[in-house]
């Protein structure tokens, strides 16, 4: 299969944070950057599509990634681990759903690469046979070349409101149809149903189109929005690969690609993919796609299972033992545990609602908090003090900073530390320590080739994370 005359620009949708996969997925460390099924994240599994498509003869450009501003470091780090260079990382501080950032992507694609086909990929989709999707993509490229918006669908396993539906109209060729109608959450009771179920497919959220056609259609559908997004492109702040849309992007309303565009254009065809597909959005679905033991269990981490069957049990910080448990999800993290039967997992949204109402931090972040330089975990906290474990990546360094309300003691337990404290620069080895006075300009750096671990003891009247004055930073956080 050779498609060398067609350039494809992958666009990865890496926003959102997957509340249905709580407590593993948190607002500040969402599901797309976590190893949900195996040892690699959903984001990196999606990046795997790029070399796979190149092997099949497609001319695939470096991807564009769309994400929230606070996720940009995860994107950069995981792209580096994967060996993939992102063309752009388009970020937004306030979620705008999918239509505005995709239009920004189209405007940039034309500016950078001419008119490559945009291949829009959600992060949480799974095919049991990717080769079948590659064959469907080849058909999609043919129809995108005929100035059509191409969407992809699979035969539904059941009627559900969890997915959008694409109803097939006139057949154009084998497995290619005009899109008759699209519905995001159709009525499944039959009382108000307008879809013809035997002609409808689960819409995969995967789209293929020329950016020129996308923008031409958007001009007809919403001229004012396109003008505003053109201004946001003209005013963008660019420090490649990072790209921040400029004014008036922040004040634009959120709009989905499906509702704001797909439902309003008549230039769409749907390609049927004859493979099984799943959205890895619930623990029940993750269980069904996991490697199961002889008792139909998916067990990850330090788990002992006795007389238990049909479960998904995931342990991240301690031993979890099950006895006589059936068809249940047990998801353990260091500060929260979810226990639910697989058939009642949808009720987890009630837990999320209560966590939000009580401003619980277990919804926002894990005890170990990840930063672009590494991570930290609060070990103990009391009146006027806090003890943390800091992990600093090789060759990484924290910002040059000061605190108004606290002093710090640092003790190295693993690795080599380079410490700046005002005009003094020290090198510390394991079992050596130093004192950072209140108000001193200081910085911690790992000059070595292995992880640096430091125990930090903070003392002061206020120990919040917002008591940081940054003077220099490798990660552009002075503006934060």
> Distance between CA atoms of 476 and 197, rounded to whole angstroms?
50
Q: Give the pLDDT confidence score for residue 157 in this predicted structure.
A: 80
Parallel, antiparallel, or unpaired for β 176-183 and 268-272?
antiparallel
Structure-model confidence comparison of residues 119 and 158, the more confident one? 119
232-244 tens-digit pLDDT: 999 999 999 999 9
Q: Please name the helix (run of DSSP H) or strand (run of DSSP E) that holds residue 156, with its range, or none.
A: none
> Which residues does residue 178 pair with via DSSP β-bridges, in sequence order?
269
Contacts of 111 (CB under 8 A, 6+ apart): 233
> Which residues does residue 410 pair with via DSSP β-bridges, in sequence order?
434, 456
86 near 35, Cβ under 8 Å? Answer: no
Average pLDDT over residues 415-432: 98
Long-range contacts of 431-438 (CB under 8 A, 24+ apart): 433/409, 434/409, 434/410, 435/407, 435/408, 435/409, 436/407, 436/408, 436/409, 436/410, 437/407, 438/403, 438/404, 438/405, 438/406, 438/407
Helices (H), 13-129: 42-47, 49-55, 72-82, 99-113
% of the chain exceeding 90 in pLDDT: 81
Q: Give the pLDDT confidence score for residue 51 in this predicted structure.
A: 93
CA distances from 167 to 151, 154, 178, 369 (A): 11, 11, 9, 44
342 near 287, Cβ under 8 Å? Answer: yes
| Closest by CA position to 96, among listed 292, 319, 248, 270 | 248
pTM of the model: 0.89
| Closest by CA position to 141, among listed 176, 117, 112, 109 | 117
Pick the range with the lowest mean pLDDT from 191-195, 418-422, 469-473: 191-195
Q: Read out DSSP for 312-366?
A: EEEESSS-EEEES-BSEEEEE-SS-EEEEEGGGGGGHHHHHHHHHHTT-GGGT--
Q: Give the pLDDT confidence score for residue 422 in this predicted structure.
A: 97
Best-predicted range by mean pLDDT (6-10, 165-169, 185-189) = 6-10
Q: Give the pLDDT confidence score for residue 195 in this predicted structure.
A: 62
342 near 324, Cβ under 8 Å? Answer: no
> Distance between CA atoms of 361 and 380, rounded to whole angstroms?
16
Number of H helices, E strands in the chain: 10, 31
315 near 297, Cβ under 8 Å? Answer: no
Q: Give the pLDDT confidence score for residue 480 in this predicted structure.
A: 46
Token pair belonging to 36: 């949900």
Average pLDDT over residues 416-439: 98
Q: Give the pLDDT confidence score for residue 221 in this predicted structure.
A: 96
Q: Give the pLDDT confidence score for residue 189 in this predicted structure.
A: 58
Q: Give the pLDDT confidence score for residue 181 in this predicted structure.
A: 86
Average pLDDT, the chain: 93
**How many C-beta atoms lie closer than 10 Å to residue 464's C-beta?**
10
189-219 tens-digit pLDDT: 554 556 677 788 989 999 999 999 999 999 9
């Amino acid at each position: 299969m050779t498609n060398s005359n067609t350039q494809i620009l992958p666009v990865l949708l890496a926003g959102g944070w997957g509340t249905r996969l709580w407590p593993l997925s948190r607002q500040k460390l969402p599901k797309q950057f976590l190893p949900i099924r195996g040892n690699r994240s959903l984001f990196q599994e999606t990046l795997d599509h790029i070399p796979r498509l190149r092997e099949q003869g497609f001319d695939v450009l470096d991807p564009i990634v769309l994400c929230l501003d606070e996720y940009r470091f995860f994107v950069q780090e995981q792209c580096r681990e994967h060996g993939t260079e992102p063309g752009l990382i388009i970020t937004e501080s306030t979620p705008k759903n999918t239509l505005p950032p995709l239009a920004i992507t189209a405007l940039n694609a034309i500016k950078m690469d001419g008119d490559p086909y945009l291949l829009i990929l959600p992060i949480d989709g799974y095919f049991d046979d990717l080769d079948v999707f590659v064959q469907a993509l080849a058909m999609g490229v043919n129809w995108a070349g005929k100035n059509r918006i191409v969407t992809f669908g699979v035969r539904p396993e059941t009627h559900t409101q969890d997915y959008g539906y694409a109803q097939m109209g006139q057949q154009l060729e084998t497995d290619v149809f005009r899109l008759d109608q699209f519905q995001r959450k159709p009525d499944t009771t039959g009382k108000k149903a307008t879809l013809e179920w035997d002609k409808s497919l689960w819409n995969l959220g995967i789209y293929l189109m020329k950016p020129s056609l996308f923008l031409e259609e958007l001009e007809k559908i919403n001229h004012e929005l396109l003008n505003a997004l053109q201004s946001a492109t003209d005013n963008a702040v660019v420090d490649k690969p990072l790209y921040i849309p400029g004014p008036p992007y922040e004040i634009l309303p959120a709009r989905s690609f499906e509702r704001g565009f797909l439902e309003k254009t008549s230039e769409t065809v749907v390609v049927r993919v004859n493979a099984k597909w799943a959205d890895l959005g619930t623990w029940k679905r993750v269980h069904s796609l996991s490697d199961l033991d002889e008792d139909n269990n998916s067990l990850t981490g330090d788990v002992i299972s006795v007389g238990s069957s049909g479960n998904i049990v995931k342990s991240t910080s301690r031993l979890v033992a099950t006895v006589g448990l059936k068809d249940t999800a047990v998801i353990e993290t260091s500060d929260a545990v979810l226990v639910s039967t697989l058939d009642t997992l949808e009720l987890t949204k009630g837990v999320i609602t209560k966590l939000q109402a009580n401003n619980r931090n277990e919804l926002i972040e894990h005890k170990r908090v990840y930063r672009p330089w590494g991570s930290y975990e609060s070990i103990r906290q009391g009146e006027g003090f806090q003890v943390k474990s800091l992990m600093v990546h090789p060759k990484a360094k924290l910002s040059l900073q000061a605190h108004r309300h606290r002093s710090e003691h640092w003790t190295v337990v693993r690795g080599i530390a380079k410490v700046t404290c005002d005009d003094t620069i020290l090198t510390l080895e394991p079992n050596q320590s130093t004192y950072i006075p209140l108000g001193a300009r200081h910085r911690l750096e790992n000059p070595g080739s292995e992880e640096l671990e430091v125990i930090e003891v903070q003392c002061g009247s206020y120990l919040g994370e917002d008591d940081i004055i940054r003077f220099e930073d490798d990660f552009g956080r002075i503006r934060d």
